[in-house]
């Protein structure tokens, strides 16, 4: 059963911003402005005893003065006032507190954090934070963060235990055409933790894949993490990047959010047990998430590589073997069919090498064969930039074929070259086709999808 307070985090009917500031540049101003500019449709109430009006909205001296129910209260006042305004929010029957303020357990101020939790328990409120940058939930047009405000809606949820990195990655998702459903800053996890948020997102129809930047779990919560995540990963893929792998990194993580970094092997074992996919870099996490967000799960393991360059084909072949991606040995009939898509000196084996002479039509014909052949379950398209084939023309052609076949098989694209390939990949990504700047990245991303499919099959037999 998902708690009312956690539900209110993603579906508040009204929001009070306690510490909404009159001054541009302050966090309390930016959060209020982001909420309004991103188009949140519920009611918004700035609270500030020194102001009558902020950003065109009537301001209230206290949350208690608001003549309406308040589901969510965002707290952006200095630490020494937090307990007082939290108490008032409790009396107002607020469901969830989003505490942006720093200066709690992360700097050793454990007592204030415990008092905050006590107040929340007394009034049956939940707390996100403290020490966070906020929460965004794009299906509700809600951006209650002080991060960038041009978030692209989509099916990837991102939960971050790091603040600054989380904000930075918000900006990065915009640049990379990564569509997000939710971005949740976890901070000190005094109450609501990664598992609570993941449980909600597992049931959320707007989220297809959950990504987590994790520094460490709270002491005593490891077993719950494994047990609950096991249930969640049967519903949706969860990709975690766990920072603090090294000894020094673990120490840095402990002083950052006050969490127990623990031994890396213990985390690895826990992730494995829970069916959580572990990425090693943030880039890798989003590389994989992009495939889960846009591609169907494969019907089987047999994979074909279609390329215009022998070299990238070989690199992809190595990466496939290293990452458990099974390359198909095409039947003589299939080889015959591929042969018709290339010059006489091409290769119809796997990788299917259309040669450097390939033009759009060669790719289109080969792709159509790949979609139609029952021997093939997964498709990797590779492209090396040549002067005779512009990637910005190849990209729309690939999109057209994928649509013609209803994207019935997973497809990933790897493009190597200059600025034009970057633009070609942007076109593909905008149209929900995962595209990567190297053959290896394309293969590894596909391998995550295949591994998850295997995991689901194994679970269904248990």
Site residues (CB under 6 A) for ligand COA?
18-19, 21-23, 26-28, 47-51, 76-79, 81, 85, 100-103, 131-133, 163, 185
Alpha carbon of 343 to those of 101, 227, 321, 357: distances in Å?
65, 55, 28, 8
What is the closest distance, in whole angstroms, from the C-beta atom of residue 103 to ligand COA in the complex?
6
Residue closer to ligand COA (CB basis): 54 or 337:
54
How many CB atoms within 10 Å of residue 454?
Answer: 13
| Secondary structure of 204-262 as H, E, C letters | CCCCCEEEEEECCECCCCHHHHHHHHHHHHHHCCEEEEECCCCHHHHHHHHHHHCCECC
Strands (E), 91-194: 96-99, 126-128, 134-137, 142-145, 153-160, 180-185
The separation between CA 274 and the C-alpha centre of its own chain, rounded to angstroms, equals 18
| Residue for token pair 């792709």 | 367
Distance CA 428, CA 139 (A): 23
What is the closest distance, in whole angstroms, from the C-beta atom of residue 194 to ligand COA in the complex?
16
| Residue for token pair 């500031």 | 21
Residue closer to ligand COA (CB basis): 76 or 337:
76
Distance CA 225, CA 212 (A): 13
What is the closest distance, in whole angstroms, from the C-beta atom of residue 46 to ligand COA in the complex?
9
Residue closer to ligand COA (CB basis): 165 or 174:
165
Q: How many degrees, rounded to 5, is the angle at CA 306 between CA 300 and CA 312?
A: 115
Contacts of 299 (CB under 8 A, 6+ apart): 377, 409
Q: Which residue is nearest to ligand COA (CB)?
A: 163
Residue closer to ligand COA (CB basis): 43 or 430:
43
292 in Cβ contact with 449 (< 8 Å): yes
Residue closer to ligand COA (CB basis): 194 or 315:
194
Residue closer to ligand COA (CB basis): 79 or 228:
79
What is the closest distance, in whole angstroms, from the C-beta atom of residue 338 to ligand COA in the complex?
52
Distance CA 57, CA 25 (A): 18
What is the closest distance, in whole angstroms, from the C-beta atom of residue 75 to ligand COA in the complex?
8
What is the closest distance, in whole angstroms, from the C-beta atom of residue 65 to ligand COA in the complex?
11
The tokens describing 268, both together, are 């690895």
Residue closer to ligand COA (CB basis): 28 or 410:
28
Residue closer to ligand COA (CB basis): 103 or 249:
103
Residue closer to ligand COA (CB basis): 102 or 386:
102
Provide the residue count of the chain: 462
Of the candidates 410, 442, 409, 440, which has an alpha carbon nearest to the alpha carbon of residue 425?
442
What is the closest distance, in whole angstroms, from the C-beta atom of residue 128 to ligand COA in the complex?
12
What is the closest distance, in whole angstroms, from the C-beta atom of residue 192 to ligand COA in the complex?
15
What is the closest distance, in whole angstroms, from the C-beta atom of residue 18 to ligand COA in the complex?
5
């Amino acid at each position: 059963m998902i708690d009312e307070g956690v539900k209110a985090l993603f579906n508040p009917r009204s929001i009070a911003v306690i510490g909404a500031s009159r001054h541009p540049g302050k966090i309390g101003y930016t959060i209020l402005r982001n909420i309004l500019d991103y188009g949140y449709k519920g009611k918004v109430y700035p609270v500030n005893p020194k102001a009558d009006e902020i950003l065109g909205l009537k301001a209230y001296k206290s949350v208690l003065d608001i003549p309406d129910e308040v589901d969510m209260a965002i707290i952006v006042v200095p630490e020494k006032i937090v307990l007082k305004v939290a108490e008032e929010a409790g009396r107002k029957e607020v469901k969830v507190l989003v505490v942006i303020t720093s200066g709690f357990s992360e700097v050793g101020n454990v007592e204030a954090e415990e008092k905050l939790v006590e107040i929340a328990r007394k009034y049956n409120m939940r707390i996100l934070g403290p020490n966070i940058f906020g929460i965004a939930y794009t299906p509700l047009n809600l951006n209650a963060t002080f991060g960038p405000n041009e978030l692209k809606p989509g099916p990837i949820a991102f939960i971050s235990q790091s603040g600054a990195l989380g904000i930075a990655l918000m900006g990065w998702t915009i640049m990379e055409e990564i569509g997000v459903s939710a971005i949740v800053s976890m901070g000190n996890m005094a109450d609501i933790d990664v598992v609570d948020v993941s449980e909600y997102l597992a049931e959320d129809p707007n989220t297809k894949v959950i990504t987590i930047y994790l520094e460490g779990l709270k002491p005593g919560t490891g077993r719950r993490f494994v047990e609950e995540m096991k249930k969640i990963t049967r519903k949706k893929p969860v990709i975690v990047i766990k920072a603090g792998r090294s000894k020094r990194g673990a120490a840095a993580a402990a002083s950052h959010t006050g969490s127990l970094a623990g031994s890396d092997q213990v985390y690895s074992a826990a992730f494995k047990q829970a069916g959580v996919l572990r990425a090693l870099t943030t880039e890798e996490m989003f590389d994989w998430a992009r495939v889960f967000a846009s591609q169907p799960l494969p019907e089987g393991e047999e994979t074909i590589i279609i390329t215009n360059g022998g070299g990238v084909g070989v690199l992809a072949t190595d990466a496939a073997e290293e990452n458990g991606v099974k390359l198909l040995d095409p039947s003589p009939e299939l080889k015959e069919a591929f042969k018709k898509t290339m010059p006489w000196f091409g290769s119809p084996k796997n990788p299917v090498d259309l040669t450097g002479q390939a033009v759009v039509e060669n790719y289109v014909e080969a792709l159509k064969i790949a979609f139609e052949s029952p021997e093939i379950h997964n498709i990797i398209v590779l492209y090396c930039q040549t002067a005779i084939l512009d990637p910005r023309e190849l990209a729309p052609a690939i999109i057209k074929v994928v649509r013609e076949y209803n994207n019935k098989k997973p497809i990933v694209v790897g493009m190597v070259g200059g600025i034009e390939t970057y633009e070609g990949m942007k076109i593909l990504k905008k149209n929900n086709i995962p595209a990567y700047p190297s053959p290896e990245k394309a293969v590894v991303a596909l391998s995550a999808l295949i591994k998850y499919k295997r995991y689901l099959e194994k679970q269904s037999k248990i």
